[in-house]
Structure 1
Amino acid sequence: MTAEKLGITACLALTDEFLRAIRVTRTKRELYELMEAVTREMGFRHFALIHHDDLTTDRSDRIDVKDYPAAIAERLIGQRRYRRDPVIRACLFAGSAFLWSDLPSIIRLDRQDHHSIEFGAREGLNEGITVPHFRLNDCPGSCTFAGAPCLLRARRYLGPAQMIGTFAFQAARRLVRAAGAPPAPPPRLHPRPRDCVVLAGRGYSNKQIARELGLTPRTVDGYLTEARRLFESHDRTELLVSAVLAGEIGLHELSRGQPG
């Protein structure tokens, strides 16, 4: 048997062993230990199984099982920069598990994104695999394995990570449901502010939004300011990500034609 086939066999065996174990996981602690073990087995240093939501307080209706460096957890969660994080933004557009090195082909990276990636690399998150998780009427989330020693090793586990990440998130959701915690109601945008947010997401300026909706630019500015306050967002990028994560607007609404 060739080395490549031996590698495939090992990946399949690891995935099968994980799936057997995850089905009988009954507590958050057991889930953490299982994720820790499979992360190390794949050659990564850290993992994160999280809902893409404000996790600054311990909420029984949200998934937050992670082994991230303290500085990364503080940046993403403590400072609530998750809405501006390039990996979390990429989850909105990637159809399946993706390598962090492939981020430029998924989203447009700006200076803040490059700074975030460099910060993560300094903390040991040099390469990773993230598996997006979306379910109707549920807050989006993801499963991430990060800190691989090399790109080739990370790419080798892209397929297993997809299956492991999907089943891990399903198991975490099962534990949340077992706790009997009702989902927190998302903030609600009124129709006109919502229209402004959608058009802003398509790249319209305030003047273009005003012309499209028959409003004054000042009114549009007020609606967008109201929306940013509602979602505690500092700029348009954070506002759009927050509105999508909260289920207020759909990604399909942002892909229609640009203004003329």
Structure 2
Amino acid sequence: MPFARLIDVFEAKAGLCCNDRDLKVLLDHASRELGFDYFALLHHASLGSATQRLIRLDTYPPGWEEELAARALIGADPVHHASLRTNIGFAWSELPELVALGRRELEVLERAKRFDIGNGFTIPVNIPGEPAGSCSFAMRAGRDLPVQRLLCAEQLGAHAFRAARRLHHYTGLGRSPHLSRRERECVRLLAAGKTDWEIAGILGISVETAHQYVKRARAAYDVVSRAQLVACVLRDALVSFDEAIPPTR
């Protein structure tokens, strides 16, 4: 099947999947059509977690997760770390350009080879307010990546994760509550580290009024602390990291 047609067919069928098993079978077939031996579609926090809400579909060799757990390497996977450093797909051979590879990270890669997991290609999936995730396609040890098919793999991974989000009820989440203009102004200044007294001076309002605006914003997000409020508005992109973090000199 032509690869462009493969992606179209996969997208249509993925939208009809009713459970993880159906999606796993569909993705396994499509990934093998592209020439890959394994895939892993998951929220990174799903490793070592029994929470069914988290996405976890993979065809890695049995015992791989147990190996990571036994050697306390869950959380040290450099592929997962690199997924937080780029917005496009990357081959695992590019890992040194994306993250520092320390002893534990190199051990993960070495252990993978012992499970016949060689080179791979990963598509990051990072959605504000949701657990970090990715879709990886991998080869058996000693086999080369199908380089000319990586763009198709990137599209396939994106469609697959969208289908998994639907099955796990993540679609439609993350809708931020409405804040008034003054509440947004106060929250932006709060995120920049300003006190109520400083916010009042900047906006030309009383300290009590500034305090009430922040309090109403906390209530809108249903959080109990200012730190939680700042985390929420950063997640929802109401405040950018550039606004909240002072520039380095």
Q: What percentage of residue pairs aligned between the two structures are identical?
A: 30
Q: TM-score, normalised by structure 1?
A: 0.62
2:87 corresponding residue in structure 1: 95
1:236 is matched with which residue? none
1:115 and 2:95 aligned: no
The structure whose Rg is larger is: 2
Aligned to 1:62: 54
Task: Output the TM-score relative to the length of structure 2.
Answer: 0.64
Uncovered stretches (5+) of structure 1, i.e. residues with no partner: 1-8, 179-246
> In structure 2, the residue corresponding to 1:138 is in which secondary structure?
coil
Could you tell me how far 1:74 is from its partner in structure 2? 1.4
Structure 1 residues 102 and 14: alpha-carbon distance in aligned structure 2, compared to 1, 3 A threshold? same
Higher mean C-alpha deviation, range 72-81 or range 52-61 = 72-81
2:76–2:108 Cα contact (<8 Å) kept = no
Secondary structure at the residue paired with 2:63?
helix
2:109 & 2:77 partners in 1: Cα distance?
A: 9
Deviation string 1:48-81 (CA, Å, 9 cap, x unpaired) is 1111114434323110111111232213467663
Moved more, 69-78 or 160-169: 69-78
Tell me: CA distance 1:254–1:82, structure 2 relative to 1, closer, same or farther (3 Å): farther
Is contact 2:46-2:56 (8 Å) kept? no
Aligned to 1:28: 20
1:210 alignment counterpart:
none
Q: Distance in 2 between matches of 1:31 and 1:125?
A: 22
8 Å CA contact retained: 2:122, 2:134: yes
Indicate whether 1:165 and 2:151 are aligned.
no
Q: Is the 8 A contact 2:139 2:145 kept in 1?
A: no
Number of residue pairs matched by the alignment: 186
Q: 8, 19, 32: which is aligned to 1:16?
A: 8
Q: 1:175 aligns with which of 160, 167, 170?
A: 167
Amino acid at match of 2:61: P
Amino acid at match of 2:153: A
Contact 1:52 1:82 in 2 (8 A): no
CA-atom RMSD in angstroms: 3.4
* Residue 257 (str. 1) matches residue 244 (str. 2): no
Matching residue's letter, 1:143 = C
Whole-Å Cα distance in 2 between the matches of residues 254 and 109 of structure 1?
Answer: 27
Counterpart of 1:151 in structure 2 is: 144
CA deviation digits over 1:159-198, x for unaligned, max 9? 11111111111111111118xxxxxxxxxxxxxxxxxxxx
Seen in structure 2, the aligned counterparts of structure 1 residues 82 and 130 have a Cα distance that, compared at 3 Å, is farther
Show the 5 A alignment for 1:192-211.
none
